[in-house]
Chains A and B, each alone.
Chain A
Amino acid sequence: MTITGEVGAWNARESATPAVVAKGLTKVYGQGDAAVHALRGVDVSFATGAFTAIMGPSGSGKSTLMHCLAGLDTVSGGQVHIGDVELTGLDDRRLTLLRRERIGFIFQAFNLLPTLTAEQNIRLPLEIAGRQADQDLFGRVVETVGLRDRLGHKPAQLSGGQQQRVAVARALISKPQVIFADEPTGNLDSRSGAEVLSFLRTSVRELGQTIVMVTHDPVAASYADRVIFLRDGLLVSELLRPTPQSVLDTLMKLEA
């Protein structure tokens, strides 16, 4: 309880207008004896323009937390706000529209549609929303992730690192209020992973993008401004300006 208190204090101190806020978030799978409490009451907020990593051992609820925050899954209790919109209680259609307008996604694998070229994949969220791409932004994003000469390729013709960079570009192009990244480097070798992570950090620094990333890799987490730790469905700790070593130490403490 003391730790969550401190987290709340940090949030209030750092940013007056958080991008994402969750209050008393609970998630229960199943019923009765078989019920699994994935989230047991999580209060957390994510500052606008910050890069936050969510960590925790397997089964700690970090993926569930992300799914609930992003409106991919329904919550059992509590509230989630993206900006000024409360997610909880929206029907499927409004949730879909909200995702379309305000949220970007990067997944661990299977991020791209195999039938579309890199460029079509990048523009896909805008097209779904029926919006025109900002040509300047498109150019800048493509330049940032270094895909200029790969735009006409299909995903099958790209390396794993390149595919994830396309996914990053796609997440950035619609200028979402927040990007959720689920183990974005999980399938990459360390060099490609480092590249993708620096792009994410650059987009936070230079474009003011808000990013929430789930990872189990201390090195990946160290690219973030802040790391929060989950265990057994509860927020238990956090780190500001993390290094791989400090993240690892915190994790060791949690496992103990």
Chain B
Amino acid sequence: MFRTTLAGLRAHKLRLLLTSLAIALGVGFIAGTFVLTDTIQAGFTEKFAAAADKIDVAVLPARSEDAESSRPLSEAALEKVRAAEGVGEAQGLIRGSAALVGKDGKAVGSFPTAGISLPEGPLNRTLITSGSAPKTATQAVLDENTAKTRGFAVGETVTVLDSKNVGHEFTLVGLFDIGLDQQLAYTGGVGFTTATAKAMTGEKGYQEIDVAAAEGVGQEKARDAVAAALGPGYRVTTGEQYADDLVKANGADDQLITMGLLMFGLVAMFVAALVIYNTFNILVAQRTREMALLRCIGATRGQVFGSIVLESAVVGGLSSVFGLLIGYGMGTGALSVLIAIGAPLPSATAALAPRTIVVALLVGVVVTMGAALLPARSATRVAPIAALRSQIEEQTFRTGVLRAISAAVFLVAGTAITVIGVTMERGQLALVVVMAGGLLFFLGVLILGPVIVKPLAAFVGWLPGRLFGVPGRLALDNSGRNPRRSATTTVALTVGVTLMTLISVLVGTLRLTYSHKLDEQFPVDYMVQSQSGGLPRALGEALRDRPELASVVAIRETDAKAAGGRPPYRVGTFTALPDFTPKLTSGSLDALTPGTVVVADHTAKDLGVKLGGRMPLRTAKAGTVDLTVVGLFDAETSPLPEMTVPAGDFDRYFGAVDDRQLMVNAKDGTDLDKARKAVEAAAQPYPTAKVSSSTDIRGALDEALDMMVMIITGLLGLSVLISLLGIANTLSLSVHERTRESALLRALGLTRPQLRRTLSVEALILGLIGALVGAALGVAFGWASARTVTDGVIFTVPVLQILAFVAVSGLAGVIAAVLPARRAARASIVDALAAG
């Protein structure tokens, strides 16, 4: 039996190639994910280990309950460490904010650059790439990226703001490499001597103390000595342990990426499983006579079953190995691309962990064999007498009761669960419930597929049937001819299109909903925000004096504690203006008189206060005040701080706090360019004041969303590609089955191009069915998902995007048909008539 199987495989090499490719692509994606993340992880480990080599002991502040208030290490602690036995040298590291001022006089970037200290001596871990390290209080170094993007060169003078937003000038003496520091990669960084860094950032202590042990003292011994010298309240680790901790912290991120990518890999494998299932089904149907002959000469049912399963195991194994190679290539390729576009990733030799190999092979083989089980079982039902029948019967299909019932159960359950998800309180749980409902519904569609594929083919194929004459009509008939086969082929495509549509509907709807809500709240032309700290009130006054501007609303806020809740809350106010009327969910802003407060929904819930209730608030200047709640609002869409008191009260409670942000509207009829220039001119004296227009903000948001949709669509593209292999496979097998039919048509006068067109139109119809079902499901569940994320959803269907998905699917189907169609058209009529 084994030899028969292998001989069969050799004979059908080409036929199985497409199937193998489907598995290989899925396995390749999974393997590629592992290779990519493993390689990144290995690179990090290597670099961290190298960096930590210099350190024998690291001292960190003890982890406190809330990370915010973890106290930095004091000067006294550093002295204690230095005095400890076995310590050769100890240095404290400073890290805080020190905003670099760009050549335009404004602080660079959306966030202030980090200010770090560069200790002298062997404990310095920052690599100077050009120039030298800072040695005096007037020298500074800049990270390479920031220097490049902001146009600074060594020798120039740079201005850096201290923690009070006062500018200081430094001579740029060198550039440094940020290495793998994700924070520095994001904000950029300025390096100083330790003392200068302390002064500039305003940090009260060190973030970390690095220790080099004295000659001949081991890491453990030095650690114990340092820990003993410091007493409790510190985390003291050896350098090795420190490196391990860094790797672990980084690994958590890495794992998240791995999980995300693997989700797409699983979708791809599911689609591949459908393709494999279909292929084996067709192969079994076509080899009915072969099976029957085997049964005639004495093979048992078990042996027939075994031969199919063995075949699938061999195919799965070979394809998985192939997939592993693809994955290795994809993983390393992706890493080079990521590094090339500037991601802060270490380059390392690609890691092919034993785990990757095992998982890839296991997934490939198990999925392939699993998908072949049902076809193998149907092969055992072939009666030996079938060997004697001259013609293979057309597979007929009738809707079985079992199919109808199970489809109904899944569809009803899916719908019910989705409805529950949509109606329950919105949030992550609701989204998960909707997704579960969607999955059940999809399974229902999968089961119902063979029933609905024929009417759908009639619907989708109506136009091509009219348009392409006889080839069109024949294609239409053929597409509905073997409903089970067509259904599985198209469902594979439906998976990808559904998910793509769902994402685009969800994102489109949320985008529209949020932007509408923001517009409704308070349409702002410009927003002035501080990069760090506050905006002096003088800036607001200057803006109010501008004739081009109509209204300027300042939002002020500070942290304060309220009794009975989690500390601290953001308490704030706004400068009142007649046309600034943020929406409340209950109560009224008119009631916001001295001694009252309006509170965000979730904060009120947190504190257990209701409209009309009273809440005590601890203030900086006025002690604890008792406030009456006169309104509640939705924090998600409101510009108000979570506890908003009248402006007069605020000053009385907390003093003259700086403005947090300024919302500015241009006067009607003013040229928007002019208005913007006016705002920018007013903000010029304040380096940290950042001006953005509502279109800037929306543009940035749109860009980010578009990017996300593009990446997800790209990742889902793989499953679409696999399903197209399925279409090509199904068609080529159908062509093989219909050899004599094609010959008859050719004899009756169908030209070669017409025969090719028949196949192309059939593929077009299959592709369109898959895409349309996918689009319908995607729109429905995209809507349901959007409902769970926020209320007041303004539903929108990105019609063009979805039409593009459908068109691309149809077109891709046609491309998938090219090879099978060519083969069908090339066949000699006489040979084909004689065949079978």
Contact = CB atoms under 8 A, between A and B. Distances in A.
Nearest to A98: B749
Contacts of A100: 748-749
B477 A115 contact: yes
B751 A105 contact: no
Nearest to B481: A115
A93 B751 contact: yes
A116 interface: yes
A226 interface: no
A57 to B, nearest CB: 18
Interface in B16-31: none
A72 B754 contact: no
A5 interface: no
Interface in B478-535: 478, 481
A128 interface: yes
Interface string B742-759: 001111111110100000
Contacts of A97: 749, 751
Interface in A64-80: 67, 70, 72-73
B358 interface: no
B827 to A, nearest CB: 12
Interface string A87-105: 0000011001101110001
A47 B469 CA distance: 35
A240 interface: no
B752 A93 contact: yes
Contacts of B390: 109
A96 B478 contact: no
A145 to B, nearest CB: 18
Interface string A148-187: 0000000010000000000000000000000000000000
Contacts of A130: 469
A128 B394 contact: no
Given A96-B749, A107-B744, A156-B394, A116 B477 contact: yes
B373 interface: no
A73 B830 contact: yes
Contacts of A107: 744, 747, 833
Contact of A115 (B478, B744, B746, B828): B478
A67 B833 CA distance: 11
Given A72-B829, A72-B830, A96-B750, A113 B469 contact: no
A111 B749 CA distance: 14
B833 A96 contact: no
A125 B744 contact: no
A114 interface: yes
A101 B747 CA distance: 11
A127 interface: yes
A107 to B, nearest CB: 7
Given A72-B829, A72-B830, A116-B477, A105 B747 contact: yes
A124 B477 CA distance: 14
A63 to B, nearest CB: 9
B741 interface: yes
B740 interface: yes
Contacts of A10: none
A127 B474 CA distance: 11
Given A67-B830, A72-B830, A107-B744, A129 B474 contact: no
A110 B738 CA distance: 11
Nearest to B748: A125
A124 B748 contact: yes
B470 interface: yes
Nearest to A70: B747
A111 B469 contact: no
A72 B749 contact: no
Contacts of A110: 391, 740-741, 744, 833, 836
A1 to B, nearest CB: 30
A96 B394 contact: no
A113 to B, nearest CB: 6
B466 to A, nearest CB: 13
A34 B582 CA distance: 94
A115 B746 CA distance: 16
A96 B751 contact: yes
A141 B385 CA distance: 39
Nearest to B477: A115
Given A107-B833, A124-B470, A127-B469, A113 B747 contact: no
A107 B746 CA distance: 13
Given A114-B394, A124-B748, 11 more contacts: A72-B747, A96-B746, A97-B749, A97-B751, A100-B748, A107-B747, A110-B391, A110-B833, A113-B745, A114-B741, A128-B754
11 contacts: A70-B747, A72-B829, A93-B752, A96-B752, A97-B751, A105-B744, A113-B474, A114-B394, A115-B478, A124-B470, A124-B748
Shortest 4 CB-CB distances between A and B: which pairs? A100-B749, A115-B477, A96-B751, A73-B830
Interface of A: 67, 70, 72-73, 92-93, 96-97, 99-101, 105, 107, 109-111, 113-116, 124-125, 127-130, 156
